Every structure is written in C-alpha cells, then in structure tokens.
A and B are shown apart, each in its own frame.
Chain A
Amino acid sequence: AQSVAQPEDQVNVAEGNPLTVKCTYSVSGNPYLFWYVQYPNRGLQFLLKYITGDNLVKGSYGFEAEFNKSQTSFHLKKPSALVSDSALYFCAVRAWFSGYSTLTFGKGTMLLVSP
C-alpha cells in the first residue's frame, strides 16, 4: 500500500534561513508525490508535485522539492524562510482506494518561522 511519512511534528526556523520539511514515501511502481499547505482556518492549498522528469521540482511561493529515488524521499525546501510561511505542511502520494485514485497524506509537519 502507498504511504508517506513525515518524521517531524514541528520544524522551527528563523526568518531568512533555509528550511527543509522531510517526507519519505513507500509505493509500488512510480510515485506521484505532492506537497500541500494548510493555513489556519483554511483549506489545503497545492504547492507542487512530482510526476516524472527533473528531480528538483519548483512550486508556489518559492518552495521546491527534491525527489530522491534511492532514498525514497521528497523533501520540501525553501532557500529563505518567511514568517508568513508558518503553516501546516502535508506530503501526499497517489494511492488507490476501492478502484479510484486519490491522495493519501502524511501526518503533517507544523512549520514555525520566527522573526
């Protein structure tokens, strides 16, 4: 079964510093990987995806993620964090449920960026 793991409940970083939010995956076949962000009292917003092609994927708000097949990882990164990046981040992978494909999510990582 497809699954993703986010080993950190919370990541703390100072504004201006680089940030990394970790994600590892377990799938059979080629993975379709996604990152979403959830701000307080808001729905999920799509950040970026990896389907195929370049291992470095660029997304919204200056975020990028690196697909590493040998390490089965898809870490989210940003060169310089902003206080406004503070939110809950979810890694997700395409999974099959009862014959339909949708997403299965990691438990989420809270990112806190301090001024």
Chain B
Amino acid sequence: SAVISQKPSRDICQRGTSLTIQCQVDSQVTMMFWYRQQPGQSLTLIATANQGSEATYESGFVIDKFPISRPNLTFSTLTVSNMSPEDSSIYLCSVPGSRTGVGDGYTFGSGTRLTVV
C-alpha cells in the first residue's frame, strides 16, 4: 500500500493567519482525500482532490476557507485560511490503498495537529 508523508505534524498558529499542510505519496494516485478530526470527534471528509481538476467539497466546507492544490499525482496541499480557534483540529490526508480500488482500504497520513490561539 501507499506511504504518505504529511507535514507539518503539528503547529500553533495565530488567529487570522493561514497554514498550508502538505501530503506527499510514494506512488501515483488518482484521488486524495482530506479529513478533519475535531477534538473528541470522529473524522469528517472535507474534500476530494483529483489531479487536474478542482477539488470537490463536502457540505459545510468551502474553497475559500480550505483551498486545495493537486499539482500532480503524488502531491496535494490543504490550506486552512483565516484561522479561528474553531479550526483547531487534526487534519489528515488519505489515499486509496491500491489502484484496484477500495477493497484494499485506505491509507492515512500521520496527521497535522493544529492549534489556533
């Protein structure tokens, strides 16, 4: 299965600023997914990122707040813009476990723990 390098692993940011999170995959993948895990909560899908097209955002998430880039098949970034304390969460990227589809599950990055003060 794919190996994902996600960074930064954690950061403490001032409100009103932006943070860009990076995920690098060791193989080419068509789709990458970005999740948010708020404190004490489950994972919620933010958006799906395909190379060469705009990301598809889920209900409650908008591009202006969470712009995503997908310049190639091994890399993606998620930016958390104009941060407020409510954005304090763990952000994770994910890719399908194999080219053959969901049967091999999904691989997750190690997560970025964001604290906004």
Known: A90-B43, A106-B42. A98 touches B56 (CB 8 A): yes
Q: Give the dominant DSSP class at A's interface.
A: strand
B111 touching A97, Cβ below 8 Å: no
How many B residues have CB within 8 A of the partner chain?
A: 25
Known: A98-B56, A100-B56, A105-B42. A43 touches B110 (CB 8 A): yes
B108 touching A98, Cβ below 8 Å: no
A97 touching B42, Cβ below 8 Å: no
Query: Which of A's residues lie within 8 Å of B, judged by CB?
Result: 32, 34, 36, 41-46, 49, 51, 90, 94, 97-108
Query: Which of B's residues lie within 8 Å of A, judged by CB?
Result: 1, 6, 31, 33, 41-43, 45, 48, 56, 58, 92, 94, 97, 101-103, 105-111, 113
